[in-house]
Amino acid sequence: MKIGFVGLGIMGKPMAKNLIKAGFDVVVTTHKQEVIDEFVALGAKGAKNAADEVKQGCDVIITMLPNSPQVREVTLGAGGVVEGGKSGITVLDMSSIDPVESQKISAELEKSGIELLDCPVSGGEPKAIDGTLSVMAGGKKESFDKFLPVLKAMASSVVYVGPIGSGNVAKLANQMVVAANIGVVAEALTFAKKAGTDPRLVYEAIRGGLAGSTVMDAKAPMMLSGNYEPGFRIKLHIKDLTNALNAAHAINMPVPMTAHMMEVMQELMNHGEENCDHDDIIKYYERMTGVSIAEA
Amino acid sequence: MKIGFVGLGIMGKPMAKNLIKAGFDVVVTTHKQEVIDEFVALGAKGAKNAADEVKQGCDVIITMLPNSPQVREVTLGAGGVVEGGKSGITVLDMSSIDPVESQKISAELEKSGIELLDCPVSGGEPKAIDGTLSVMAGGKKESFDKFLPVLKAMASSVVYVGPIGSGNVAKLANQMVVAANIGVVAEALTFAKKAGTDPRLVYEAIRGGLAGSTVMDAKAPMMLSGNYEPGFRIKLHIKDLTNALNAAHAINMPVPMTAHMMEVMQELMNHGEENCDHDDIIKYYERMTGVSIAEA
Q: Is A59 helix (H, G, I), strand (E, B) or coil?
A: coil
Question: How far is B268 from chain A, CA to nearest CA, in Å?
Answer: 16
What local confidence, expressed as pLDDT, does residue B296 receive? Answer: 65
- C-alpha count within 13 angstroms, C-beta hemisphere, residue B137: 25
CB–CB contact A122 B210 (8 Å): yes
- Could you tell me if B174 and B155 lie in one domain? no
- Where among B148, B163, B178 does a domain terminate? B163
Domain match, B83 and B149 both:
yes
Question: Can you tell me the mean pLDDT for A149-172?
Answer: 97
**Interchain proximity B212–A213, CB inside 8 Å:** yes
Nearest CA-CA partner of A75 in A115, A39, A36, A41 = A115
pLDDT reported for residue B124:
87
For A219, A291, B33, B128, the CA distances from B10, given in Å and listed in that order, are 36, 39, 17, 9
Pairing of strands B2-6, A133-138: unpaired
Rounded CA-CA distance B89/B112 in Å is 10
d(CA A118, CA A103): 9
Q: Which residues of A touch B195 (CB under 8 A)?
A: 99, 165, 169, 247-248, 251, 253
Q: Which 3 state secondary structure label does DSSP give B221? A: helix
Range of the domain at B48: 2-163
Mean pLDDT value across residues A18-38: 97
Nearest chain B residue to A164, by CA: B197
Nearest to B215 among A210, A247, A257 (CB): A210
A112 and A8 in a common domain? yes
Domain annotation covers residue B202: yes
Q: Is residue A181 part of a domain?
A: yes
Cβ separation B198–A257 shorter than 8 A: no
Q: Is the peptide bond before B272 cis (omega within 30 degrees of 0)?
A: no
Q: How far B37 CA lies from chain A's nearest CA (Å)?
A: 35
Q: Are residues B129 and B272 in the same domain?
A: no
Dihedral sign for Cα atoms in the order B105, B110, B114, B115: positive
Residues of chain B in contact with residue A266, where contact means CB-CB under 8 angstroms, are none
Q: B174, A211: Cβ pair inside 8 Å? A: yes
Considering only CB atoms, which chain A residues are within 8 Å of B254? 288-289
Contact with chain B for residue A176, Cβ under 8 A: yes
**Residues B138 and B188 occupy one common structural domain:** no
Q: How many domains does chain B have?
A: 2
> What gap in Å lies between CA A213 and CA A255, rounded to an integer?
21
Residues in Cβ contact with A45 at an 8 Å cutoff, skipping those fewer than 6 apart = A25, A26, A27, A28, A56
Domain-embedded: residue A295: no
Q: Active site residue: B171, B193, B219, B283, which one? A: B171
B70 in helix, strand or coil?
Answer: helix
pLDDT digits (tens, 9 = 90+) for A86-95: 999 999 999 9
Same domain, A10 and A148: yes
Last residue of a domain, one of B106, B130, B163: B163
Least confident of A79-88, B123-132, B136-145, B259-268: B123-132
The Cα-based distances of B263 to A182, B16, B258, B281 in angstroms read: 20, 36, 9, 11
Of the candidates A163, A188, A219, which is a domain's last residue? A163
Q: Is A48 exposed, middle or buried (0-12, 13-18, 19+ CB in 10 A)?
A: exposed
CB < 8 Å to B175, chain A? 211
With a pLDDT cut of 90, the percent of chain A lying above it is 98
| Residue B236 and residue B174 share a domain | yes
Sign of the CA dihedral B109, B111, B114, B115? positive
Q: Is residue B142 part of a domain?
A: yes
Q: Mind telling me how many Å the CA of B45 is from chain A's nearest CA?
A: 34
- B181 interfaces chain A, CB cutoff of 8 Å: yes
Q: Is the pLDDT of residue B170 over 70?
A: yes
Contact between A173 and B244 (Cβ < 8 Å): no
Q: In terms of CA atoms, which chain B residue is nearest residue A160?
A: B201
Output the CA torsion B67→B71→B77→B82 (10° steps): -170
Residues 255-294 of A with CB under 8 A from B: 255-258, 260, 288-289
Residue A22 belongs to a domain: yes
Number of alpha helices (DSSP H) and beta strands (DSSP E) in chain A: 13, 9
CA distance A257 to chain B (A): 7
Q: Which of B 213-252 lie inside 8 A of A, CB atoms?
A: 213-216, 218, 244, 247-248, 251
CA distance B193 to B199: 5
Question: What CATH number corresponds to the domain at position A126?
Answer: 3.40.50.720
- Asked, for residue B296, whether it belongs to a domain, the answer is no
Give the whole-angstrom CA distance, residue B9 versus residue B144: 24
Residue-wise pLDDT for A239-262, tens only, equals 999 999 999 999 999 999 999 999
Q: Is the pTM of the predicted complex or chain greater than 0.90? A: yes
* Closest approach of B4 to chain A, Cα-based (Å): 26
Q: Which residue of B has its CA nearest to A123?
A: B209
Reported as a single tens digit per residue, the pLDDT across B46-89 is 999 999 999 999 999 999 999 999 999 999 999 999 999 999 99
Residue A122 CA, distance from chain mean position: 5
- From start to end of chain A, where are the E strands? 2-6, 25-29, 45-47, 60-63, 90-93, 115-118, 121-122, 133-138, 155-162
Minimum CA–CA partner of B137 in chain A: A205
Give pLDDT, residue A296. 65
Q: Which residue of A has its CA nearest to B135?
A: A205
Q: Do A139 and A214 fall within a single domain?
A: no
Crossing angle of helices B199-206 and B214-225, in 10° steps, is 170
pLDDT the model gives residue B295: 76
Q: Are residues A174 and A202 in the same domain?
A: yes
Catalytic residues of A: 171
Whether residue A141 sits in one domain with residue A56: yes
Closest-CA distance, A237 to chain B, in angstroms, reads 13
CATH number of the domain residue A175 falls in: 1.10.1040.10
- Looking at the fold, whether B14 and B157 belong to one and the same domain comes out as yes
Average pLDDT over residues A47-53: 98
B171 is catalytic: yes
ipTM of the complex: 0.95
Whether A224 is in a domain gets the answer yes
Q: Are residues A120 and A184 in the same domain?
A: no
Instruction: Name the residue among A122, A206, A214 with its Cβ closest to that of B174.
Output: A206
Q: Which residues contact B261 (CB under 8 A, 6 or more apart)?
A: B176, B179, B180, B183, B241, B281
Task: Please state, in angstroms and rounded to a whole number, the distance separating the CA atoms of residues B163 and B137.
Answer: 9
| pLDDT band at residue A295 under the 50/70/90 scheme | confident
What is the mean predicted confidence (pLDDT) over A108-125? 96
